[in-house]
Amino acid sequence: MIYLAHIAVPVTLLVLGMPIFLVLVTSALLGIWIAGGIPVQAIHTAMFGSLDSFSLLAVPLFIFAGDVMARGGIARRLIELVIAMVGGVRGSLALATIGAASAFGAMSGSSVACVAAIGKLTLPSLERNGYGRLFGVSLITATGVIDVIIPPSIPMIIYGIAAQQSVTTLFLAGIVPGLIVALALSIYVVIKARAQQIPVEEARSWPDIRAAGKRAVWSILAPIVILGGIYGGLFTPTEAAGVACLYSIAISVYVHRELSWKNVWDILQECAVLVGQIMIIVAAAGAYSWFITTSGLAGAVVDVIKELHLSTWMLLLVINCVLLCVGSVLEPPAAILILMPLLMPVTALAGIDPIHFGIVVTVNLAIGMFLPPFGLNLFASHAIFNTPLPALYRGVVPFLLIYLLVLALITYIPAITLYPLTWMK
């Protein structure tokens, strides 16, 4: 009977359209009532305990810093520099879009912000140069999720908290997979540009590149300060998020002069609403995770896996399928907080490295963000660029196949994520 609260109730409430935090809290309360003998006060303790984390503070700080960078000219100048540097080859504008998304990902962990910032600057040029609006929007939608994979990554922070792993180590492990994704996408767009005979973009002169570099000096320093400080041992990821906020405000207000303090206050208010939505899900997921753990469901799942005698590669295949399906419906933080109490004991039984598994989870949920029909980035692109969803579903298919291929490589070749850790040590 108690498994009714584990599976049937959450699924039913989600189908009925109830907010995710209410689904989680309701399921936990119903489970306590069915089990009996557990005080309701345990829910309060679990909810507030899930928020009592220093690492979790990095999430609102990175969201705020990314928004300030996107609106204060830091992101735009960095993107303009990438576009200026990539020229003279067929497909250069598409390559610049991928490079800009990767560069933006090194400053902010918000995928939707990446789609908006990159799209507004590159989509008009992509249309003018023969790529077509649908391809341009599809490319921007797919490259926007690189932001989730390349550190600093909000899903990696959430996973580190849920799985009790080092966020700094996860960030380091995510660099190579993010670059592999960018490389695979680049190969595809170059081949497509050659096949469609896209006009070759005129290469920029060195004076133009130098001018763009001069304008983007402070933008280039942003990822250097953030990631260099983390890997150099100067500060933790949470402290790096605080530094990113101060840096972005100082540059946007006093150097670029594109934001006033009133603009900063408005951005802060908007981010507070988004952070409130995330944190209430984190708190509710804490209650649900506690209920799953105490009810013995995690142990029961491990026992079932033992009886099935699945090989490691088959187990990873099943987990990937589950994560892709869940990631297309839920946002990455909610998906991680709900699934990790169940998946971590299973992967530990199979001897899967938790850092490697964290990158696998992150890439899966990144793909889920543009996986038809419910991926969050699909709806964001539909709203921002006014592109019909059925056409967008078709447009992202080639990019989806590329991501799935890279996911298979990352899943079954752990050295892609773990070797950089050995090299750094």
More confident residue, 159 or 63: 159
Give CA angle at 184 (180, 187), nearest 5°: 140
Instruction: Give the model's pLDDT for residue 203.
Output: 66
Q: What's the confidence (pLDDT) of residue 413?
A: 92
Please indicate, yes or no, whether the overall pTM of this predicted structure exceeds 0.75.
Answer: yes
3 has pLDDT over 60: no
pLDDT at residue 125 above 90?
no
Percent over 70 (pLDDT), the chain? 91
Give the per-residue SS3 of 19-88: CHHHHHHHHHHHHHHHHCCCCCHHHHHHHHHHHCCCHHHHHHHHHHHHHHHHHCCHHHHHHHHHHHHCCC
Tally of structural domains, the chain: 1
Residue 189 contacts residue 94 (beta carbons within 8 Å): yes
Question: How confident is the model over 336-350, as a mean pLDDT?
Answer: 84
Kindly indicate the confidence band of residue 207, based on its pLDDT and cuts at 50, 70 and 90: confident
Q: Which residue has the higher pLDDT, 4 or 327?
A: 327
| pLDDT one-digit tens code per residue, 45-60 | 777 777 777 777 887 8
Q: What does the pLDDT read at residue 4?
A: 57
pLDDT at 362: 92
Residues in the chain: 425
Digit-coded pLDDT (tens) for 139-180: 988 888 888 888 888 888 889 988 888 888 898 898 899 899
Most confident range (mean pLDDT) of 8-17, 182-191, 195-204 is 182-191
Could you tell me the sign of the dihedral formed by the alpha carbons of 277, 98, 355, 248, in that order? negative
213-250 burial: b if 16+ Cβ within 10 Å, else e: bebbebbeebbebbbebbeeeeebbbbbbbbbbebbbe
HSE value, Cβ hemisphere, 13 Å, CA-based, for 8: 7
Range of the domain at 330: 3-424
**CA 271 to CA 73: how far, in whole Å?**
18
Confidence at residue 184, expressed as pLDDT on a 0 to 100 scale: 94
Q: Are 373 and 392 in contact (CB under 8 A)?
A: no
Q: Which DSSP string corresponds to 230-253?
A: HHTTSS-HHHHHHHHHHHHHHIII
Q: What is the pLDDT of residues 212-239, one digit of tens each?
A: 888 888 888 888 888 778 777 788 888 8
Q: Is the model's pLDDT at 303 over the cut of 80?
A: no
Radius of gyration of the chain (CA): 22
pLDDT at res. 424:
65
Q: What is the pLDDT of residue 354?
A: 94
Q: What is the mean pLDDT of residues 371-384?
A: 78
The per-residue pLDDT for 246 is: 92
Q: What is the pLDDT of residue 210?
A: 84
**Under 8 Å between Cβ of 54 and 238:** yes
And the tokens for 267?
Answer: 């951005």
The pLDDT score that the predictor gives to residue 109 is 60
Looking at the predicted structure, is the pLDDT value of residue 391 above 80? yes
What is the rounded average pLDDT for all residues in the chain? Answer: 81
What are the respective helix, strand and coil percentages of the chain, to the nearest 5?
A: 80, 0, 20
Q: How far apart are CA 74 and CA 213, in angstroms?
A: 12
Average pLDDT, integer, range 259-285: 85
Q: Which of 208 and 7 is assigned the larger pLDDT? A: 208
Please check the confidence at residue 30 and state whether its pLDDT lies above 90: no
Considering 46-55, 59-68, 210-219, 242-251, the range whose residues carry the highest mean pLDDT is 242-251
